[in-house]
A and B are shown apart, each in its own frame.
Chain A
Amino acid sequence: MWIPLWPASSAISGNVINALFTAELVVCVLILALVFGLIWVFCIRYRHSTTVDRGHPSQRSWVFEIGWTSATLVAFLVLFVWGANAYVWLYEPPRADLELYVVGKQWMWEIEHPGGQREINALHVPNGKIVRLVMASQDVIHSFFIPAFRMKHDVVPGQLETMWFQPTQTGTYRLECTEFCGTEHAHMTGEVIVMTPAAYAEWLSNQGADKTLAAQGEQLFRNYGCSGCHGVNSTVHAPSLVGLYGSLVHLNDGTTVRADERYIRDSILLPRSQVVAGFAPVMPSFSGQISEADTLKILAYIQSLNPSGNAP
């Protein structure tokens, strides 16, 4: 029987983590070998029944202490810098080729593709492309984990989270929830299917989606009455949303924010917390009236109003 000890990495992030993990493992084994080796040697050589020389124990203990304190400090700092660098790289998404929307709820993952294709507990992605996930939770904290990519991010209710990956190998991989979320936490699992770009395109076209996510969002944009104020022909004094996504927004408290997914979501649910400069805080909150899935669709529509914008 083959015992899996070292799981295959199927994404760029996996290679980064594997290299770093191997390096730290080597450092750990070296330190362990040193400490355990010394303990064994001392325990055998200086066991009570032997008659070796025990005189003149070193009086200058501080020389050793300063020595090994600085040695460990330097070694640890090297590992820290490597790890911190990798962390920043792994969690700061580059410009994405494809953006997908994920909603976690007890106990399933719901995934929406930009073309309106929807899947549950499965995630189809094209190989070699940079995929960015915009994630929301409908209830408690979940965590989206793909072990083969060595990549995870918690999905915290009340805010949008993002993560990204770039698969390097086609295949089917495990998808798991890693934040305890209630009775069936262990069944909040699924599959990530990495396909060739051609196969992915074919898969998309076979899903029978009639409307893109942005088009569904546009419909909701009218249904929820957003267009009454933010629409092109509106007479109400409200900020236009054309070209908003990814741009810098000046707020009436003098600060500036980038209009990323989080900002847009917060503006829908908590419109009075970040008011655009020059506008009155008159928008009502949609908190509790709109599901996370609908919020993501409206977000997709607002994003589509600025095709060139890709918030970092």
Chain B
Amino acid sequence: MTSFADTAALPKNYLNERWSVRSWLLTTDHKRIALLYFASITMFFFIGGFAATLIRLHLVVPSGGLLQPDTYNRMFTMHGVVMVWFFLIPSIPATLGNFLVPLMIGARDLAFPRINLASWYVFNVSGAMVLLALFMGGIDSGWTFYTPLSTTYTNGYVTLALLAVFINGFSTLMTALNFVVTVHKMRAPGMSWFRLPLFIWALYATSIVMLLATPVLAMTVLLVALERMAGVGIFDPALGGDPLLFQHMFWFYSHPAVYIMILPAMGVISEVIPCFARKPVFGYAGMTYALMAIAVIGFLVWGHHMFTAGISVFSAVVFSLMSFLVAVPSAIKVFNWTATLHKGRISFQAPMLYALGFIGLFTVGGLTGLIVATAALDIHLQDTYFVIAHFHYVMVGGAVSAFFAGLHYWWPKITGRLYHEIWAQIAAGLMFLGFNLTFFPQFILGYLGMPRRYYTYAPEWQVWNVLSSAGASILAVAYLMPLFYLSWSLFRAERAAPNPWRATGLEWQTTSPPAEDNFSRTPTVTEGPYEYNSSTGGCVAQNGALYE
């Protein structure tokens, strides 16, 4: 490794302070734990992506040429389980969040560094269990584990997967607990609540949702395991249980889980847009209220997954109303980001391209969310490809785009190296194009009535499926590109200055990469988080350099 020598010549930082394997595996440094998490979720992203690739390849022909029915069912189940619990939920909080929460509020670490490390180990134990289930033969219930299919009619490794999800929940809880306590107790002097960067607000709201929702998932999963193993009748009608009880409990967690995925994404976008527009975010206070409103109302909409399941007409109407209400704060955020661009001084480096892509795709996802929140329309659209397209626009178009926006934005801070701008811009463009080509045809397929989870379909739907699969191949290339140019940048690229974007925020006031203890003196905060000036293009320096 040629870079070894010149890295060693750098001032001491969290990467070169210690070199042993032990110093990584037993680290309590939030920055190193963020990188450990980053390695884990990258692996799961490509495992889940591999399953998706097989699904899209299989669906090129209507008869489904590639996989056996049971294998196909196991692939979409694995895609869902891996992407939801092992990529999307930890994606931004456990990597960027772990790295940035202490840096952004001027702290030396999270409140409970050892719990933070434990969270990574627990995550990997659950990840190993789900991989074991995959290699022993897979899971065949769908990621939603609907009873009584999952309890009595499947022969895959459902119980093992359920226990993996149960254990995974503890890693989520540990991270969330850490964030809440850290934000409450460890803010630097002068960092009042309304001077917090919106990324911190977003993670704070996310952590509250995690703490309140995850235990319900744990209970649900344990009850299913209990029914499967001990025959106790809870959800199975043959034993006197109620299958809809499972759906209520499952969605009471899994709908807020959507906000666990999207709120941190909104936080990232709220950092990137002001920096590249050189303007304070429009309506900061409104943005914080919108985040908290989404977190709270998000708990009251779970029934919209059950409009056709035979719930009472009255409750369906109430859930529809709440679903429309939760869309209002999301709309506010989109309008505020757009208004931030007004009279800005906008440049289009990769993080900004990803962020603009996020706004486009998230807006389409949100607006089609209104369509499926309309109780009557959901009668037609429920469990068709329309729903698939809708939630991929939010979770992939939204959350994954934001993940890449944040990854590129903070890459110089995390690694001390600059990534290759042109390659990153090409990848961002390809990702946007490939995504739309993959998922837009699925809206049409859904309205035409193609149900989800079908390994074979009617010949007249082939043209849309071929378009979708073609888009998926572009998307696959776009997702592989950062793996290469970012890895390359670790060894060959130019070194990053402490603040290459001339951004505000305490994380930019220390060295790149930061020292093990982040700051040599505790910063004092005297102003809001986004003191950019679009007339000059500069920003008000907060405290000068905080690490000499």
Residues of B within 8 A of A54 (CB): 343-345, 534-535
Residues of B within 8 A of A68 (CB): 331-332, 335
Choose from B153, B382, B444 the contact partner of A178 (Cβ within 8 Å).
B382
Given contacts A17-B379, A32-B364, A39-B359, contact A48 B338 (CB under 8 A): no
Residues of B within 8 A of A184 (CB): 69
Choose from A61, A151, A156, A180 the contact partner of B244 (Cβ within 8 Å).
A156
Given contacts A57-B343, A90-B376, A153-B310, contact A139 B449 (CB under 8 A): no
A218 at the interface (CB under 8 A from B): no
Are A156 and B451 in contact (CB-based, < 8 A)?
no
Are B338 and A28 in contact (CB-based, < 8 A)?
no
Residues of A within 8 A of B69 (CB): 183-184, 186
A223 at the interface (CB under 8 A from B): no
Choose from A13, A55, A73 the contact partner of B328 (Cβ within 8 Å).
A73
Are A24 and B371 in contact (CB-based, < 8 A)?
yes
Residues of A within 8 A of B528 (CB): none
- Stretch touching chain A among B46-54, B161-169, B315-323: B315-323
**In whole angstroms, what is the CA distance A39 to B332 when docked?**
15
**In whole angstroms, what is the CA distance A32 to B362 when docked?**
11
Choose from B237, B243, B356, B375 the contact partner of A87 (Cβ within 8 Å).
B375
**In whole angstroms, what is the CA distance A65 to B321 when docked?**
22
Are A48 and B537 in contact (CB-based, < 8 A)?
yes
Smallest CB-CB separation from B69: which chain A residue?
A183
**In whole angstroms, what is the CA distance A31 to B367 when docked?**
8
Are B243 and A24 in contact (CB-based, < 8 A)?
no
Interface residues on A, range: 35 or more
Are A158 and B242 in contact (CB-based, < 8 A)?
yes
B79 → A minimal CB distance (Å):
13
Residues of A within 8 A of B455 (CB): 186
**In whole angstroms, what is the CA distance A85 to B320 when docked?**
11
A311 at the interface (CB under 8 A from B): no
**In whole angstroms, what is the CA distance A67 to B70 when docked?**
53
- Stretch touching chain A among B397-405, B457-465, B517-525: B457-465
Are B383 and A143 in contact (CB-based, < 8 A)?
yes
**In whole angstroms, what is the CA distance A179 to B144 when docked?**
11
Are A24 and B153 in contact (CB-based, < 8 A)?
no
**In whole angstroms, what is the CA distance A28 to B451 when docked?**
23
Within A253-304, which residues are at the interface with B (CB < 8 Å)?
288
B429 at the interface (CB under 8 A from A): no
Within B298-355, which residues are at the interface with A (CB < 8 Å)?
307-310, 313, 316-317, 320-321, 324-325, 327-328, 331-332, 334-336, 338-339, 341-348
Within B490-516, which residues are at the interface with A (CB < 8 Å)?
none
Choose from B320, B364, B453 the contact partner of A84 (Cβ within 8 Å).
B320
B370 at the interface (CB under 8 A from A): yes
B360 at the interface (CB under 8 A from A): yes
**In whole angstroms, what is the CA distance A180 to B341 when docked?**
44
Residues of B within 8 A of A84 (CB): 317, 320-321, 375-376
Which among B310, B327, B346, B348 has the highest number of chain A CB atoms within 10 Å? B310
Within A66-90, which residues are at the interface with B (CB < 8 Å)?
68-69, 72-73, 76-77, 79-80, 82-88, 90
Choose from B339, B460, B535 the contact partner of A55 (Cβ within 8 Å).
B535
B374 at the interface (CB under 8 A from A): yes
A141 at the interface (CB under 8 A from B): yes
B104 → A minimal CB distance (Å):
24
A140 at the interface (CB under 8 A from B): yes
Residues of A within 8 A of B11 (CB): none
Smallest CB-CB separation from A270: which chain B residue?
B240
- Stretch touching chain A among B35-43, B220-228, B275-283, B474-482: B275-283
**In whole angstroms, what is the CA distance A6 to B445 when docked?**
10
Choose from A28, A48, A85, A151 the contact partner of B370 (Cβ within 8 Å).
A28
Are B449 and A24 in contact (CB-based, < 8 A)?
no
Residues of B within 8 A of A187 (CB): 456
Are B243 and A158 in contact (CB-based, < 8 A)?
yes
Given contacts A31-B367, A76-B328, A91-B313, contact A150 B320 (CB under 8 A): no
- Listed A/B pairs (14) with beta-carbon separation below 8 Å: A5-B444, A31-B363, A32-B367, A42-B341, A64-B339, A65-B336, A86-B376, A106-B153, A143-B308, A154-B309, A158-B243, A176-B449, A178-B382, A184-B69
New A-B pairs, 12, CB < 8 Å, besides A79-B324, A152-B379? A3-B463, A25-B371, A39-B341, A46-B344, A57-B534, A64-B283, A65-B335, A68-B335, A91-B316, A147-B449, A178-B451, A186-B457
CB within 8 Å of B: which residues of A? 1, 3-7, 13, 16-17, 20-21, 24-25, 27-28, 31-32, 35-36, 38-39, 42-43, 46-48, 53-55, 57, 61-62, 64-65, 68-69, 72-73, 76-77, 79-80, 82-88, 90-92, 106, 139-141, 143, 145, 147-148, 150-154, 156-159, 161, 174, 176-187, 288
**CB-based closest 7 A-B pairs:** A147-B449, A158-B237, A83-B374, A86-B376, A87-B375, A42-B341, A186-B454
